[in-house]
Amino acid sequence: MSVLDIKDLQVSIETEQGKKEILRGVDLTISSDEIHAVMGPNGSGKSTLAYTIAGHPRYTVDGGSITLDGEDVLGMSVDERARAGLFLAMQYPVEIPGVTVSNFLRTAKTAVSGEAPRVREWIGDVRTAMESLRMDPSFGERNVNEGFSGGEKKRHEILQMELLRPRFAVLDETDSGLDVDALRIVSEGVNRIKGETLLGVLLITHYTRILRYIQPDHVHVFVNGRVAEQGGPELAERLEEEGYDRYLKAGV
Amino acid sequence: MTVIDTTPVVPVQTRSERPWSFDPEDFERPTGREVNWKLSDLRRLAPLLVDEETEAGERSLDYDTGDAEARGLLVESTGHDAAPRGEIFQPEDLASAIAWKRCANALHVRLPEGQAVEAPVVVRIAGRGADVHGNAHIVIEAMPGSQGTVVLSHEGSAAYAQNVEILVRPGARLEVVSVQDWEDDAVHAAAHQAVVEQGGFLRHIVASFGGGVVRVNPSVRLAGEHAEGELFGLSFADAGQHLESQVYLHHEGVSTKGDVLYKGALQGEGARSVWIGDVLIGSGATGTDSYEKNQNLVLTDGTRADSIPNLEIETGDIAGAGHASATGRFDDEQLFYLQSRGIEEEEARRLVVIGFLMEIVQKVGVPEVEERLAAAIEEELRRGASLAPASRAGA
């Protein structure tokens, strides 16, 4: 069992108006068999948390720590974090012109596992994963994210998660922009991977919709860069009915 | 990509009105102020501006046409007055006029009417030394309904002025790939001029890797109704190299379609690229659909990329026309994405550069040519591996 431990995390970004604090002391502990949902209104710092865990250079950590089984994650480069078993499914994955999906997947797999995958086995794994995400085989010959629809981009993120086998996955608004069918396919993917391997999930979302398909063990409500409330799945149900107004009015 | 500089310039004259002549005497020696020379390396190109006998007896460079003759694709070389030489070609600068005059026998590659020529016709052109001045005229003719690929592959060293006349007859589909893989001290100025007749299709690709100064200027007239032209280019400029393309696409016929995309990478002190893209949509070219774009990726400090798109439209009745130009350093978001999948920074940079240029390679559509170009890109990257990356944008 692995543990991803976030303690008193404080994060800021540089803007044209100067430094802007976004996370103001976040505590979160996730075991590699748990699903945690982080919910909150726009601008509450949910995505900042996701990108800080992954190590995006735009975000400056002013205090606190992130450790993975005691190892200092903040001291690792972006690629070291991925090789340590962290994965971020992005909300807006970028296009990489001229790099095909199959080349990209093989390069990433080789990097994460430290050796090139055996060709025959790998081709089979990719085909199976693509089939279960209802992706056409021709997908592999397309350039990474180039001309992908919103749903294709998200499926491609989950495909990578399935093939790279991380210990912890952060899903940053994976549900946004998906229709019901795509949402079901993507959620099934997450649940399937979770069933096959030890995987801790940090599910970041604005809406409760995806939680009908992916059942969280814990729910954290983010407001203004802090955890304003936490609880079990019942908290999500309450948010479904009441929204975030309660927290915003309270000015937490 | 970070946009550093976009310089749209209004041309001083309509591109089609540029003077031309077969006689070198009609051209002034360029001073560097002329619209078509102002960004060129005239000092190094100077040997090509000397009107001297070069092709007396034997040619100044070696031409290897492989099995083209056996396949019946070569026409006996043609003199100045032998059609179709000069059917559409009009020298527009001094080097080109000298090349016209001094090349007595043009090489003539012809794809026979109605035939799909499977394997690409490869013409290997090898220089014999930087001090050997050569002049050439090459005719590539795709007869009606024919289909095929012709590759001009340059290597060795030379001071080489070259005219390439490309004739795409009605309904023909022709791909012309010019690969510049010269030694560091070679200078090469080429004027490609093409006409695409009714329903014809030309894909023209310029790939410049090696050479001191390489200037390959393609002009394409989409003359016939429904003629199509794809003009692609890729260049990889290293320290001290000057790689240039002045591209001209003239929509003349009704419902013609044009797509221009040139991509360049630059690495090392003094690496230089120049791209001038002129698109002219003539008054009769109703229903035109045209787009041109130039993108440059700066890999190290000390490089310079000039990028000048020009678009002239003489009819309002078109389907679409646009242009774009961007020169920038690495896109940090692309690097982040790849690194977040465990790929180390250096490998991620390599993937991004290869991918950036592979967009052109992927358009070739002929596997053996694609493999060759991909290998050349890999070789360029190996050469630049020790160079420090460009400082981050905004840093």
pLDDT at residue A244 tops 80: yes
For the segment B224-247, the average pLDDT, to the nearest whole number, is: 97
Residues of A in contact with B332 (CB under 8 A): 57
Residue in the block written with tokens 């079990």: A232
CATH code of the domain containing A212: 3.40.50.300
For the segment B204-214, the average pLDDT, to the nearest whole number, is: 97
Residues of B in contact with A82 (CB under 8 A): 339-343
Q: How far is CA A17 from CA A55, A62, B394, in A?
A: 23, 18, 16
Q: Tell me the ipTM for this assembly.
A: 0.96
Cβ-in-10-Å burial (0-12, 13-18, 19+) of B290 comes to: buried
For residue range B150-165, list pLDDT tens digits in order: 999 999 999 999 999 9
Determine phi and psi for A138, rounding to 5 degrees.
-65, -15
From B340, B351, B356, residue closest to A82, measured CB to CB: B340
Q: Is residue B144 a contact partner of residue B118, using CB atoms and an 8 Å limit?
A: no
For residue A184, the model assigns a pLDDT of 93
Whether A150 is in a domain gets the answer no
Going by C-alpha positions, the residue among B276, B167, B281, B285 that lies closest to residue B226 is: B285
* Residue A72 lies in domain: 3-96+165-250
Contact B82/A at CB under 8 A: no
pLDDT at residue B12 tops 60: no
For residue A251, the model assigns a pLDDT of 54
Beta bridge partners of B75: B108
Contact A140/B at CB under 8 A: no
B1 pLDDT band (50/70/90 cuts)?
Answer: very low
Number of domains in chain A: 1
Two tokens, residue A176: 């946004």
Whether A71 is in a domain gets the answer yes
C-alpha to C-alpha distance for A239 and A221, rounded to whole angstroms: 9
Sign of CA dihedral B327, B330, B334, B336: negative
Whether A131 is in a domain gets the answer no
pLDDT at residue A82 tops 90: yes
Ordered DSSP codes for B222-253: E-STT-EEEEEEEEEE-TT-EEEEEEEEEE-S
Contact flag B332-A88 (C-beta cutoff 8 Å): no
Give the chain A residue whose CA is nearest to the CA of B362.
A98
Interface test with A, best of B1, B296, B297, B338 (most A CBs within 10 A): B338
pLDDT at residue B2 tops 90: no
**What is the residue-averaged pLDDT of chain B?**
93
For residue B285, the model assigns a pLDDT of 97
Contact flag A104-B362 (C-beta cutoff 8 Å): no
Whether A66 is in a domain gets the answer yes
Whether A9 is in a domain gets the answer yes
Share of chain B above pLDDT 70, in %: 95
Q: How far apart are the first and last CA of chain B?
A: 15
Sign of CA dihedral B90, B95, B98, B99: negative
Contact A88/B at CB under 8 A: yes
Contact flag A82-B338 (C-beta cutoff 8 Å): no
From A97, A98, A164, residue closest to B341, measured CB to CB: A164
B3 pLDDT band (50/70/90 cuts)?
Answer: very low
Cβ-in-10-Å burial (0-12, 13-18, 19+) of A245 comes to: exposed
C-alpha to C-alpha distance for A107 and B344, rounded to whole angstroms: 10
Contact flag B343-A107 (C-beta cutoff 8 Å): yes
Q: Would you report the helix, strand and coil content of chain A in percent, each value rounded to 5?
A: 40, 30, 30
Q: Is residue A137 a contact partner of residue A193, using CB atoms and an 8 Å limit?
A: no
From B337, B342, B359, residue closest to A112, measured CB to CB: B342
Contact B338/A at CB under 8 A: yes
From A98, A160, A164, residue closest to B359, measured CB to CB: A98
For residue B14, the model assigns a pLDDT of 82
Whether A47 is in a domain gets the answer yes
C-alpha to C-alpha distance for B52 and A185, rounded to whole angstroms: 72
Whether A140 is in a domain gets the answer no
Contact flag A94-B342 (C-beta cutoff 8 Å): no
For residue range A21-70, list pLDDT tens digits in order: 999 999 999 999 999 999 999 889 999 999 999 999 999 999 999 999 99
Whether A88 is in a domain gets the answer yes
Residues of B in contact with A96 (CB under 8 A): 334, 337-338, 351-352, 355
Residue in the block written with tokens 């690709």: B205
Beta bridge partners of B326: B295
For residue range A98-147, list pLDDT tens digits in order: 899 999 999 999 999 999 999 999 999 999 999 999 999 999 999 999 99
Give the chain A residue whose CA is nearest to the CA of B357.
A98
Going by C-alpha positions, the residue among B202, B220, B223, B174 that lies closest to residue B73 is: B174
Contact flag A98-B332 (C-beta cutoff 8 Å): no
Residues of B in contact with A97 (CB under 8 A): 355-356, 358-359
For residue range B346-358, list pLDDT tens digits in order: 899 999 999 999 9
